[in-house]
């Protein structure tokens, strides 16, 4: 694939994978992106997952022919991008490896070799000339590993963005970018909002006309859309007006309350109501919705004087991703000692800018006139 006259795509699509990072369902696969910059000197940008090493080398060969690359730029040491470094060095034994100091430490850990005789260590503000192309390096620690660098090609005004601006899904997947990019971002990068904000500040000083990530499609137009979404996500802002309702239910009574509230919200004209069964629906999508909307309702049973395990799992995923700046309503159920609201509020006590609804809907076994009236009061606070 030609991205420009000088930048070629040599990555691969993975349609075999079921769980990315052993956790995230990827029904439309994954893309492991790698690029070649052709100039007086030739730079290869990252490798791919180990299972696709042979295919990647074939792609390289189809672009390079008999030419020898001068550099392998390693932006990120996660194995889905770095696994073929050693193989590359064996195939192209004169090429230098360009990476951050921390990346070379990780190479030693992964491969037992830090390629000391081939190292080109780069950091913030360093540059590497290929001829008419100059690679300018931008450090991006904890976006989302500590060794990450990104590369700005001033000739093409292209930012090679490592895992930033990536998404789930193979390149041939016909799907909306934002949905799977959002799920990817909050699942994998979401904890590091402050670091992404720092990166966006650096990016604002560059004339970027192309973003070339390590996962997902190359972003070649309408870049303001993608940058604005990343700014919203990394600042923990509200992307969409609406309410997400997350519930767990044992015998169906808490589910009935959640569905009743959803119906009332829709009838009242709420812009969007997203309802999720945390025991059955995709947890990563639930996390995505919690960060997408400004208001959330947690509906759960009291279980072992705590909250139901799937609800606790969900809340802990939010907390480890610095969930903040949100309004939360609570529906609790308990046949003899409802305690879920107390537990939930305790779990969020160290979170920033969390506002709880004044009304807590308390169900004792099943909905009745009193708990339905409480639901109507909660409804008013959510609108």
Task: Work out the average pLDDT over 173-192.
Answer: 95
Task: Work out the average pLDDT over 49-56.
Answer: 97
pLDDT at position 301: 94
The model's pLDDT over 201-219, given as tens digits with 9 standing for 90+, comes to: 999 999 999 999 999 999 9
Task: Work out the average pLDDT over 269-292.
Answer: 97
pLDDT at position 1: 84
Range of weakest confidence among 36-40, 301-305, 318-322: 301-305
Cα-based angle 366, 367, 370 (whole degrees, multiple of 5): 130
* 348 has a pLDDT exceeding 90: yes
CA distance 31 to 45: 15
What pTM value is reported for the model?
A: 0.93
Residues of the chain with pLDDT > 70, as a percent, come to 100
Burial environment of residue 282 by CB neighbours within 10 A (0 to 12, 13 to 18, 19 or more): middle
What are 353's two structure tokens? 């800018």
pLDDT confidence band for 76 (50 / 70 / 90)? very high
DSSP state of 190: G
As a whole number, the mean pLDDT across the chain is 97
CA distance 269 to 54: 55
pLDDT at position 320: 96
> What does the domain layout of the chain look like in residue ranges?
7-234, 240-382
> Which top CATH class is 240-382?
alpha beta
* 280 has a pLDDT exceeding 90: yes
Peptide bond into 98 cis (omega under 30): no
Q: Tell me the CATH number for domain 7-234.
A: 3.60.15.10
The model's pLDDT over 306-332, given as tens digits with 9 standing for 90+, comes to: 999 999 999 999 999 999 999 999 999
The model's pLDDT over 264-279, given as tens digits with 9 standing for 90+, comes to: 999 999 999 999 999 9
DSSP state of 367: -
DSSP states of 12-39: EEE-S-SEETTTEE-TT-EEE--EEE-S
pLDDT at position 143: 96
């Amino acid at each position: 694939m030609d991205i420009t006259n000088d930048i070629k795509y040599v990555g691969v699509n993975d349609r075999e994978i079921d769980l990315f990072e052993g956790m995230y369902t990827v029904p439309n696969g994954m893309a492991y992106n790698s690029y070649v910059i052709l100039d007086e000197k030739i730079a290869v940008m990252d490798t791919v997952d180990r299972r696709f090493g042979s295919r990647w080398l074939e792609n390289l060969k189809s672009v390079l022919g008999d030419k020898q690359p001068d550099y392998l730029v390693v932006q990120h040491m996660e194995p889905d991008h770095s696994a073929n470094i050693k193989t590359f060095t064996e195939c192209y034994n004169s090429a230098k490896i360009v990476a951050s100091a921390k990346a070379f430490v990780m190479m030693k850990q992964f491969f037992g070799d830090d390629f000391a005789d081939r190292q080109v260590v780069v950091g913030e503000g360093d540059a590497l000339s290929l001829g008419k192309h100059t690679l300018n390096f931008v450090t991006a620690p904890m976006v989302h590993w500590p060794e990450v660098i990104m590369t700005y090609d001033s000739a093409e005004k292209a930012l090679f963005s490592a895992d930033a601006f990536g998404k789930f899904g193979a390149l041939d997947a016909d799907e909306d970018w934002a949905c799977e990019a959002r799920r990817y971002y909050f699942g994998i990068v979401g904890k590091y909002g402050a670091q992404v904000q720092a990166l966006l500040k650096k990016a604002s000083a560059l004339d970027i006309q192309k973003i070339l990530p390590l996962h997902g499609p190359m972003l070649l137009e309408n870049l303001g859309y993608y940058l604005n979404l990343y700014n919203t996500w990394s600042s923990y802002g509200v992307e969409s007006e609406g309410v997400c309702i997350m519930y767990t239910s044992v015998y169906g009574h808490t589910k009935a309350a959640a569905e009743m509230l959803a119906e009332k919200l829709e009838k009242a004209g709420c812009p969007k109501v997203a309802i999720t069964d945390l025991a059955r629906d995709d947890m990563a999508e639930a996390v995505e919705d919690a960060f997408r909307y400004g208001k959330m309702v947690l509906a759960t049973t009291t279980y072992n004087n705590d909250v139901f395990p799937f609800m606790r799992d969900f809340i802990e995923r939010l907390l480890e991703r610095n969930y903040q700046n949100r309004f939360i309503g609570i529906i609790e159920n308990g046949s003899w000692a409802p305690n879920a609201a107390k537990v939930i509020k305790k779990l969020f006590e160290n979170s920033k800018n969390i506002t709880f609804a004044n009304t807590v809907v308390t169900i004792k076994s099943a909905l009745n006139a009193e708990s339905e009236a409480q639901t109507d009061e909660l409804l008013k606070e959510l609108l």
